[in-house]
Structure 1
Amino acid sequence: MSTLDDVLSRQKTDNVLYPPTIKGRTTETLKIGSATESNLTVGLFNSTASSNVYAYITGLAISNDNCLFLLQADGQTPYYPTSPQSNGSALSSDCAIALGAPGTTRNVTIPYIAGGRIWFCVENKLTFLLNSSPAGPGLVEPSASNTADPNYHLSWDFCEFTYNSTQLYANITYVDFVSLPISLTLTSTSGNTSHVGGLPSNGLETICNDLKAQNAIDNAGWDKLVITNSGTNLRALSPSNGIIFDPNLFSTYWNEYIDTVWNKYISTPLVIDTQFTWSLTTGYTSNDRTLLSFSGIGSFPKPSSTDIFGANSGAFAPQASNTDQLLNIGARLDAAFNRSTLLINADQPTKEVVNTYYTNAVTNHYARIVHAANVDGRGYCFPYDDVTPEGGVDQSGFVNDGSPASFLVCVGGANAYAKREVEVQKIQDTGLMKRNVSWDESGEILDLDVGEKRDLEKGEHLKLLSEAGPSTSRTFKLPPFIERLIGPQLAVSSTVYMNLITVNTAQKLQSSPFHTERLLPVLELVTRFLASVVSLSIRTIISRVFIVVFFLLFYFLGLLPHGGGGESQRRIMESVVTGSANGTVVI
């Protein structure tokens, strides 16, 4: 018997997506009170230099009993495979969605999907196969750790998403490897926009070069994570996948650091905020220095490198008792190990600060390098990269909204920009559900402000950041049916086209003779005038206005000279009386 959590976990380890045997109440709960539309338009933007880019959309159809789903090549028709007669059978429908030429968007429509992925492949089509199972057909997905996979030597990547009656949640992921740059832009029906910038177009080259440079420093084997094809960088593997190819890779890398951590917490309490109903819990190293123990809950042995990088084995595997609570504590321990902050912060993750991550010589340099290469520093680099202190800055690279209007997924790097004009919103102190370890794809209608579940890498957790994205509301509101038709194009124009066109136009204008000979002098004159006006005090402005009004009044009363005989000037002099006390002139 398998739940949705079980099959999604197996997908990450075996690269096969099976439907669950335990279906739950998904179908009936989706019929009532949905906060989202049953279908969503997704824009697939090609910002590569190739006209041969293909996309695939896969997952489990929530509204169809969580059966296997693929979107056909027309971008509109669902494909529900039937169980094959033998494992490794080919798909019976064409599911390669051809993107347009560079700079164009292909719009597709998706239903409610759990465990969804959007795959991209440049210059080639991907191979997906079918296996049989008691619950229905399973999808054999491309693998970056199997050299026999027909997709191994191709340039491909994917992002993850879940779309249900509660929300759309999506993230870019580097947990397995890095290859193609992917960015996400989500616009809500209220006009709010969330954006994850991803990698620039040369991001993979930067990461591969930095991994080699790090290996030149510590000779730990980081260069073995770089995979090439005919001398060209194809992908950069995560340490977990690197260990699959070479089990001895990083085998002793963490030993000294772990021993130092265990020694520190012999007398120093390690306080873990579970960010859930268990609240704070305190751990100490056992007397024999073999375990990190949390009284009345359980303990953790010293983890191996595989445990730290993969987060699902050995020290961080599920335990027989207090399973959820220990997995929760283990998630925070694992994040602190990868970020190498356990020696500088005994309050995890409460006092964590992003600029202290990866500062120890022994750290997850893959995560450090990949985060640094992303334009906004965000993206899942290890399974618990979403662990964040309350009020902290998200590292996992997600977008989500309870009322999505359009969703733009860009491949190639041209849409890799950071929303620097928007500050990350902080977590509220009240009314939030804390992190747990079991991701629930049931689609049950929940209160978005209290109990949202949306971690695609490792389970259910609290709203790490405020769900309300930065406000970029339009000045007018389109009718709903028009919004659905052209919403994705609006998203593209506001994020990609305008971004590119504005830059090109500005560069051409600045290099033209008109700009240098005519426009610049006018702009300088206007700037000086505005600066002089702004620099004046209110009292000065009022006094000068009064003087102008004073002279205009005298002019129209005939008291100022406007004739040849000077009669007006004489009338002024005759009407002046000089005050004897202080020399004030009185008219």
Structure 2
Amino acid sequence: MSTLNFALVNNTGSDTAYAYITGLAIDNNNALFLLQSDGKTAYYPTSPSSTITALAENCAISLGASGTTTTVTIPHLAGARLWFSRGATLSFYLNPGPALVEPSSSNPSDANYNVYWDFCEFTWNSAELFVNISMVDFFCLPIALALENTSGTTQTVEGLPSGALDTVCSALKTQNNTDGAGWDQLIITTGGANLRAVSPNTGITLNSSLFSTYFDSYVDQVWSKYTSETLTVDTQAAAGSLTATVSNGTLNFSSGSITYAQPTSAAIFSNSSGSFAVSGDSTKDAITARLAAAFNRSTLLIDTNQPDGEVVSNYYSNSITNHYARICHATALDGRGYAFPYDDVGPSGGVDQSGSVSDGSPKLLTVTVGGPLSSNSAKETTTKTTATKPSSQVNQKQGVLRNLKKLVRRLSRSK
């Protein structure tokens, strides 16, 4: 099977909604791919002579009236995204390469900045279809997933409910009233209405002083704890579990060559800078993913075994934590969804927290934008299963790829 159908459901409450599909065409030498507005014709852009060149084809797929379903057909794609907008179309551009200039949630001068838009991510190759919702950069429009395989089994991610943006923004304001850390600055408005809630990492991009010392006292406590206690990190890969202690202000692992200076708040929120920058050493990058997740969830003072000692109910229980991630998970109907880049890290055999579905024999992916139509009706017509966590090696690769993709997107957006 070289093509697959997606059913796109418009539940935004608006009759003006659009979808876009972008990625790399696996069966066409990984060429840059966009789906044209008819929902079935491929568009392979050629390299333009200048930056910020408009697309040569119309790639805005109209979703029709709210409550209706539009079916599209895709080829094998890697690093792909399914974008949605409400109330207006999105503008994509090309840079020489060709490189796709995507909509930005962190650039106020971007043509799409004041449009309601969001996306989910997927890869479909000869092995499987893997799809996840994402709030890593921001949250605007709720997205729900239902993946049916050829045996008739359906996996779901319920996502956030209709009206969730206002719920998230209200909770951010409440948290800021509690600690005054600046959580309300993650709320972006337009015309007096909530437009999106951005992640702390995106918020720091918009305001470099935001959260500059937020995690400092927590990091100090962690470093103090592991001066006299031993931290064990399971890489969930070939390297197995490694232990570490703090000496001379550095967290030193038993491998002898893997060390960490105290991470800054920016490094913790980004998962990919400073102490947590991608190193290219697969063992260290696996440890980095697990440390970054533990800091965002604030579990290092509770559990000396990461991530296998973690209990989901203890996530975000410290007053100093990634409250954006806490709020997003608390608002999600099933508690799942990527809220930071390594949100797929978890105990071996644990329930997926990242809001993903995957299957080696997919039949139909249904993606609903605007919140699930009805969880009750879905249960009547499908067999609902909770996705178990993908293998740790896959998680590690996906996390590294997400960080690398961020770098590529930053370069492609340069104007």
Structure 1 residues 80-111: Cα deviation after superposition (integer angstroms, max 9, x where no partner): 01111211110010000001211110001000
Q: Where does residue 145 of structure 1 map in the other structure?
A: 106
Q: How far, CA to CA, are the matches of 1:315 and 1:427 in structure 2? A: 27
Q: CA deviation at 1:388?
A: 1.1
> Matched residues in 2 for 1:434 and 1:108: separation?
31
The letter for the 2-side match of 1:216 is N
C-alpha separation between the residues in 2 aligned to 1:423 and 1:165?
Answer: 23
What letter corresponds to residue 253 of structure 2 in structure 1?
F
What pairs up with 1:391-406 in 2 under 5 angstroms?
A: 391-406=349-364
* Counterpart code for 1:140: V
Aligned match of 1:70:
34
**Contact 1:167 1:400 survives alignment (8 Å):** yes
CA distance in 2, matches of 1:61, 1:319: 28
Aligned partners of 1:92, 1:392: CA distance in 2, in Å?
A: 46
CA displacement 1:155-189 (0-9 Å, x = unmatched): 00010000111110000000000000110110000
**TM-score of the superposition, structure 2-length normalised?**
0.92
Q: Is the 8 A contact 2:155 2:385 kept in 1?
A: no
The whole-number CA distance in structure 1 between the counterparts of 2:91 and 2:387 is 41
Distance 1:178 1:416, change over 3 A: farther
| Kept in 2: contact 1:353–1:392 (CA 8 A) | no
1:380 equivalent in alignment to 2:338:
yes
Structure 2 distance, partners of 1:436, 1:372, is: 23
Q: CA 1:214–1:160 in 2, change beyond 3 Å: closer, same or farther?
A: same
Aligned positions of 1:428-439 closer than 5 A? 434=393, 437-439=396-398
The alpha carbon displacement at 1:438 in A equals 3.6
Superposition deviation, residue 394 in structure 1: 1.0
TM-aligned CA distance change 1:422 to 1:92, over 3 Å: closer
Name the residue aligned to 2:235.
274
Which one-letter code corresponds to 1:386 in the other structure?
D
Superposed CA deviations along residues 48-104 of structure 1, whole A, max 9, x for unmatched, are 111110110001111110111000000010000111121111001000000121111
Counterpart CA distance in 1 for 2:286 and 2:389 is: 19
User: Residues of 2 paired with 1:425 and 1:128: CA distance?
Assistant: 33
Query: 1:416: Cα distance to partner?
Result: 6.5
Determine if the alignment matches structure 1 residue 258 to structure 2 residue 219.
yes
Q: Is the 8 A contact 1:437 1:458 kept in 2?
A: no
**Match for residue 307 of structure 2 among 330, 334, 349:** 349
Q: Mean alpha-carbon deviation: is it higher for 414-423 or for 139-148?
A: 414-423
The alignment status of 1:165 with 2:126, answered yes or no, reads yes
Amino acid at match of 2:88: N
Deviation at 1:392, TM superposition (A): 1.3
| Aligned ranges 1:462-541 → 2 under 5 Å | none
Change (3 A) 1:455 1:328: closer
In the alignment, what sits opposite 2:84? Answer: 120
Q: Distance in 1 between matches of 2:394 and 2:242?
A: 14
Q: Which structure has the higher relative contact order (CA within 8 Å, separation 6+)?
A: 2
State the Cα deviation string for residues 316-340 of structure 1 (Å, max 9, x = none). 11347xx211111111011000000
Q: Is the CA contact (8 Å cut-off) linking 1:197 and 1:415 kept in structure 2? A: no
Structure 1 position 310 matched with structure 2 position 270: yes
How far did residue 414 of structure 1 move? 3.5
Helix, strand or coil: the match of 2:119? strand
Q: Give the drift of 1:267.
A: 1.5
Look up the match of 2:9: 45
Residue aligning to 1:576? none
Q: Deviations over 1:108-137 (max 9, x none)?
A: 10000011101111110100000002xxx1
Counterpart for residue 411 of structure 2: none
SS class of match (1:265): helix
Paired residues of 1:334 and 1:384 also in contact (CA < 8 A): yes
Q: CA RMSD in A?
A: 1.9
Report deviation, 1:437. 3.8
Cα shift readout 1:421-458 (whole Å, capped 9, x = no counterpart)? 95747679xxx66457445xxxxxxxxxxxxxx98646
Q: Which residue of 2 aligns with 1:245?
A: 206
The residue that corresponds to 1:521 in the other structure is none
User: Per-residue deviation at 1:275?
Assistant: 0.4
| Structure number with bigger Rg | 1
Change (3 A) 1:422 1:358: same
Residue 83 (1) aligns with residue 83 (2):
no
Contact 1:199–1:416 (CA<8 Å) still a contact in 2? no
Aligned to 1:572: none
Q: In structure 2, do the counterparts of structure 1 residues 427 and 312 end up closer, same or farther at CA, with 3 Å as the change threshold?
A: closer
CA distance in 2, matches of 1:87, 1:423: 45
Cα distance in 2 between the residues matched to 1:297 and 1:132? 40
Rounded to whole Å, the distance in 1 between the matches of 2:94 and 2:27 is 21
Q: CA deviation at 1:417?
A: 3.6
Distance in 2 between the 1:100 and 1:41 partners?
18
State the AA in 1 paired with 2:264: S
Change in CA separation of 1:363 and 1:89 when aligned onto 2, cut-off 3 Å: same
Q: Name the residue aligned to 2:253.
A: 294
- The one-letter code sitting in structure 1 at the alignment partner of 2:21 is I
Structure 2: gaps (5+ residues): 405-415
Q: What residue is the counterpart of 2:410 in the other structure? A: none
Do the aligned residues in 2 keep the contact of 1:345 with 1:351 (CA within 8 Å)? Answer: yes
Deviation at 1:407, TM superposition (A): 0.6
In the alignment, residue 414 of structure 1 is paired with which amino acid? P
**Equivalent residues of 1:200, 1:416 under 8 A apart:** no
Greater strand percent: which structure? 2
Query: For 2:68, which of 67, 88, 104 is the aligned residue?
Result: 104
Answer yes or no: is 1:203 the counterpart of 2:164.
yes
Q: What is the SS of the residue equivalent to 1:212?
A: helix
Q: Note if 1:369 corresponds to 2:330.
A: no
What does residue 410 of structure 1 align with? 368
TM-score, normalised relative to structure 1: 0.66
8 A contact 1:384–1:458 mirrored in 2: no
* CA distance in structure 2 between the aligned counterparts of 1:166 and 1:252, rounded to whole angstroms: 44
Counterpart AA for 2:293: A
- CA shift, 1:307, in A, is 0.4
Q: Which runs of 5+ in 1 are unaligned?
A: 1-36, 440-453, 460-587
C-alpha distance in 2, partners of 1:126/1:153? 10
Cα 1:131–1:416 change in 2 (3 A) is farther
* 8 Å Cα contact 2:155-2:387 kept in structure 1: no
User: Tell me, what secondary structure is at the counterpart of 2:23?
Assistant: strand
2:227 is paired with a residue whose SS is coil
Q: State the distance in 2 between where 1:199 and 1:436 align.
A: 23
Q: Which amino acid aligns with 1:106?
A: T
For the 8 Å contact 1:48–1:414, the answer to whether it is kept is: no
Report the residue type matching 1:223 in the other structure: D
The separation in 2 between residues aligned to 1:401 and 1:455, in whole angstroms, is 21
Amino acid at match of 2:95: N
2:412 maps to which residue?
A: none
Instruction: Report whether the alignment pairs 1:332 with 2:293.
Output: no
2:317 pairs with one of 359, 365, 389: 359
Could you tell me which residue of structure 2 aligns to residue 28 of structure 1? none
Q: 1:434 to 1:146 in 2, by over 3 A?
A: closer
Letter in 2 for 1:317: A
SS of equivalent to 1:266: helix
Give % identity. 53
